A and B are shown apart, each in its own frame.
Chain A
C-alpha cells in the first residue's frame, strides 16, 4: 500500500520499520517513555498546584515571616535553571530526607525515580503556580468575599465556594501555560538518567544511529501531547467562562 511512497522516499521504509511498535522496532520504547513523561508531568503539575495554592494563600494571608520565606522560594526557583535545581534536589533531596528520617528514628526510605521526578518538578512548578494563583486570587473583588462572610460562611467554605470558582477563569491561562512547561520540563530528567521520552529517544537513536528519525518522532509525540492538552484546557476555560460577564 505504501510502496509508491517508499519508492519516492527511500529512507522512509527504514524509518517506519525502526518506529514500529513491536521489536525490532523501537516505537514501543518511545511510547513507554511518553507514558512515563505524562505521569510525571501530571504528578508534578498536581503537586505544583498544591504548593501554589498554599503559597498563594501564604503570600496573601500569612504572617510577615511566611511571606518573606515564600518570596525567597519563588525568587530562587525562578532565577536558577531547572536543570541545576533538578540536580541539587535529585541528589541532595534523597540524602536530606533520609538523614532527617534517621534523626527521627525512622528507617530510611527509597525514593523511586518517578516520585523523585514528580517532587523535583513539582517544587519548581509550585513557585510559578504561587505567582499565577496569587494574581488570580487578588483579582477576585473583595465584595464577594465580604458578602459570603455576611452569609455566615467560614473561611474554608468561602475559599472553596467563592474564591476558587471566581479566580479559576483568571488563573486558567497561566495554569495551562504551566502545564505545557511541566510536560516539556520532564525532558530534563533525561540528564539524571530517568527513562522518560527524551532518554528513551536518545537510547534508541544511539543504538540505531537513526538520530533524525527518532528525534523527529519524539518531537511529534511531544507536540501531540501539548496540542491535545491545549485543546482540553481551552475547553475547560470556555466552560468556566460561561458564567462570567463579558469583559
Chain B
C-alpha cells in the first residue's frame, strides 16, 4: 500500500513538473470581459487585451501562455506563483501596489455610472442614495463605491461584470459602476437598451488608479522591465494603434 501511495505521489509531482519552466504564464480573468478578453464559441480567447498581450510578448521575445484565473483570486494566484503576471484590465492602484508591482500603464478608461433609462440620476453620492448599485468584486469600482456610496446606497457585489449587467437588464439593480469602454460594448447590445451612461464619477486617483498595467510579483523586475519594453515597442511601431482601431473609435492609451 505504501509503495502505491509513493508511486502516486511521484506521478503527481512528475505531471506537475512537465509544464515548462521558462514560459511566462499570463493571468487573465477566467470570466468574460468583452471587448477586452472573452472566450469565443471555439474556446479561444479573443479581444483587444488578448491581441495586445500577443503583441507585447512578441515584441519582448517572451514565450507567453494565457492562463485563465478566477478574477477574485487573481492576486493570490500571482503571489502564490500560479501565474507570473496579471494582464486583465487591472488598474494600478496604491492599495494593490502594497502587494504587487505594476508595469507601465497600457490603457486608461474613465469610470462611469450606467443606470436605468427611466430613472433620474447622475454619478454623485446624493443622487445614488437609496438606489441599488452593482459592482464587480475586487475591482477599483468596488473600492470606490465602498468609499463614496456605501451606506446610503445598497451595494451588490458580482463575480463578473457580465452578471452585474445581466441584473441591470433584469431590473434587479438600478445602476452599475464600471469601465466606460466595457460598458459601451454592453450598451450596444439588445439587453443594454434598458440603460444609459449617467455620468463619470468624481476623480480619486488614489482609488481609481492611473491606468491599467501588468501586475507582477514584488521584486520580479526582470519580467516587469521586459513587459515595459514590449509595451513601449508596440506603441512606437504602430502595432498598438492598429489593434486599437479594430475595437475602439479613439485611442485608449491616455496620457
Partners in one complex: yes
Interface residues of A (CB under 8 A from B): 23-26, 28-29, 32, 47, 50, 53-54, 57, 87, 90-92, 94-95, 98, 107-112, 115, 118-119, 156, 159, 191-195, 199, 202-204, 206-207, 209, 211
CB closest residue in chain B, given A206: B162
Contact B41 A25 (CB under 8 A): yes
Q: Which applies to chain B's interface (DSSP): helix, strand, loop or mixed?
A: mixed
- Chain B, range 1-53, C-beta contacts under 8 Å to A: 1-2, 4-5, 8, 12-13, 15-19, 21, 25, 29-32, 34, 38-43
Contact A193 B73 (CB under 8 A): yes
Least CB distance from A25 to B in Å reads 6
Contact A192 B73 (CB under 8 A): yes
Bound together, the chains give a CA A94 to CA B30 distance in angstroms of: 19
CB closest residue in chain A, given B15: A115
Contact residues in B for A54 (Cβ distance below 8 Å): 1-2, 5
Contact residues in A for B17 (Cβ distance below 8 Å): 109-110
Contact A112 B42 (CB under 8 A): no
Contact residues in B for A199 (Cβ distance below 8 Å): 30
Least CB distance from B107 to A in Å reads 22
Contact A95 B80 (CB under 8 A): yes
Interface residues of B (CB under 8 A from A): 1-2, 4-5, 8, 12-13, 15-19, 21, 25, 29-32, 34, 38-43, 68-73, 76-77, 80-82, 160, 162-163, 166, 169, 189, 191
Among B5, B19, B69, point to the contact of A193 (Cβ < 8 A): B69
Contact A23 B41 (CB under 8 A): yes
Least CB distance from A101 to B in Å reads 9
In the complex, the 10 A-B pairs of residues with the closest C-beta atoms, listed nearest first: A193-B70, A193-B30, A206-B162, A23-B41, A110-B19, A23-B42, A95-B80, A109-B17, A193-B69, A111-B16
Bound together, the chains give a CA A193 to CA B189 distance in angstroms of: 26
Contact residues in B for A91 (Cβ distance below 8 Å): 73, 76-77, 80, 82
Bound together, the chains give a CA A159 to CA B1 distance in angstroms of: 10
Least CB distance from A120 to B in Å reads 12
Can you name 30 A-B pairs with beta carbons within 8 Å? A23-B42, A25-B41, A29-B42, A50-B8, A90-B73, A91-B80, A92-B80, A94-B81, A94-B82, A98-B81, A109-B17, A110-B25, A111-B16, A112-B18, A156-B1, A192-B69, A192-B70, A193-B31, A193-B70, A194-B30, A203-B31, A203-B32, A206-B163, A207-B32, A207-B34, A207-B38, A207-B40, A207-B162, A209-B169, A209-B191
Among B25, B38, B73, B166, point to the contact of A209 (Cβ < 8 A): B166
Least CB distance from A2 to B in Å reads 21
Bound together, the chains give a CA A110 to CA B15 distance in angstroms of: 9
Bound together, the chains give a CA A109 to CA B163 distance in angstroms of: 35
Least CB distance from B36 to A in Å reads 13
Among B4, B12, B40, point to the contact of A115 (Cβ < 8 A): B12
Known: A32-B43, A207-B38, A207-B40. 15 other contacts (CB 8 A): A25-B41, A29-B41, A91-B82, A112-B15, A115-B15, A115-B16, A193-B31, A195-B68, A202-B160, A203-B30, A203-B32, A206-B160, A207-B32, A209-B166, A209-B189
Least CB distance from A20 to B in Å reads 9
Take A192-B73, A206-B162 as given contacts and tell me if A28 and B41 are in contact as well, using a CB distance cutoff of 8 Å.
Answer: yes
Contact B81 A108 (CB under 8 A): yes
Among B1, B4, B73, B82, point to the contact of A87 (Cβ < 8 A): B73
Contact residues in B for A119 (Cβ distance below 8 Å): 12
Contact residues in A for B31 (Cβ distance below 8 Å): 193, 202-203, 206
Contact A211 B166 (CB under 8 A): yes
Least CB distance from B194 to A in Å reads 12
Bound together, the chains give a CA A107 to CA B68 distance in angstroms of: 24
Bound together, the chains give a CA A47 to CA B7 distance in angstroms of: 12
CB closest residue in chain B, given A96: B80
Least CB distance from A171 to B in Å reads 16
Bound together, the chains give a CA A22 to CA B31 distance in angstroms of: 22
Contact B1 A110 (CB under 8 A): no
